[in-house]
Amino acid sequence: MQLKKLRKKIDQIDKTIVELINQRAKQVIQVGLWKKARKLSTYSPEREAALLANLKKISRGPLMGEDVENIFREILSACRSQGANLKIAYLGPQGTFTHLAAIKKFGKKADYLTQESISDVFASVERMQADYGVVPIENSTEGAVNYTLDMFFDSSLNICSEVTLNISHALLGRKLKGIRKVYSNPQVFAQCRAWLGRFLKGVELIPVNSTAKAAKEAKKDPLAACIGNKILANLYGLKVVASSIEDSPNNYTRFLVIARNDSPPSGKDKTSILFSVKDRVGALHDILASFKDLGISLTKIESRPSKKKAWEYYFFVDFQGHRSSPSVQKALKKLGRRCSFVKILGSYPRF
């Protein structure tokens, strides 16, 4: 009788939840109509970031903050879909870590457009075939994804959001014994270097564009395997031969959401820029010192060859703050005077 009473109470709570979610969806439809009349996007990264942060703050448990966020991301996704589904381009095929990051950001109700390369993701958004694109930018153990950095040199797109994904790799195939080839993305091989050297020393490592592409290739050959997320095993008819083979358990990859515009201030923002320094002694030091003088915290700096002139470099910098804030505007003005080239890639909510 006690169990029956408890379940009845749960059923009543579930009924109330469904009624409230539908009420929320109706309000979202009205917001969507208002935005459509003004030709505004139905997705607001700054609003979503602030909303999720507040929900985690007011939750008193027993659900963890991450649980609350995961539940509400799907609610947000379902409510948005009552208008027109967002089209999201990502580095595919289905089952890549970029695909999982895109789902984590936009929920399962969005329309996902698989792309064969990072440049194709950029092109899809630039040609307005997709509303947003998701691309990897850096890994906590292996550093920057240089191809993504290079795409920002000439692209007109902005960064409007970011998402971080905990990465765990598995060896997928038929069996561990007898493997002659292993397919995966070059960054993934680097993240599993120690395990491969211990258990598959001498096996041929074949680099491909994505972990999903690796799964497709491994499926063709009974003596081949691939490295990727466990979800690929179900998608491509493989077995999980070994789990958690990454060298570091604290293995995270950061992904950027690219769009035709960046985001308004959310209160907790990050700005990304690209610049090149003038050829004089102490130029880079003076630029970095200007951020310190204005109390702006740098979170990333990466150099890349310009590919236009030998020994000329561009610098990618992430720092805390929105480009519209007075302190950031002062810093950017100083950059303009001290640099030969400055490009603002976007301001967006910090993940």
Task: Calculate ∠ Cα 228-233-255, nearest 5°.
Answer: 35
Q: In terms of DSSP bridges, do strands 313-320 and 204-207 run parallel, antiparallel, or are they unpaired?
A: unpaired
* Structural contact between residues 33 and 39, judged by C-beta atoms closer than 8 angstroms: no
* Structural contact between residues 268 and 161, judged by C-beta atoms closer than 8 angstroms: no
| Encoded tokens for 227 | 């490295």
Q: Decide if 253 is catalytic.
A: yes
> Residue 214, class by beta-carbon neighbours within 10 Å (0-12 exposed, 13-18 middle, 19+ buried)?
buried
CA–chain centroid gap for 328, Å, is 24
Q: Decide if 255 is catalytic.
A: yes
The one catalytic residue in 255, 291, 316, 319 is 255
| Encoded tokens for 322 | 């929105």
| Pick from 118, 131, 121: nearest CA to 42 | 131
Helix (H) or strand (E) holding 275: strand 269-277
The one catalytic residue in 253, 271, 275, 319 is 253
The residues assigned a catalytic role are 253, 255
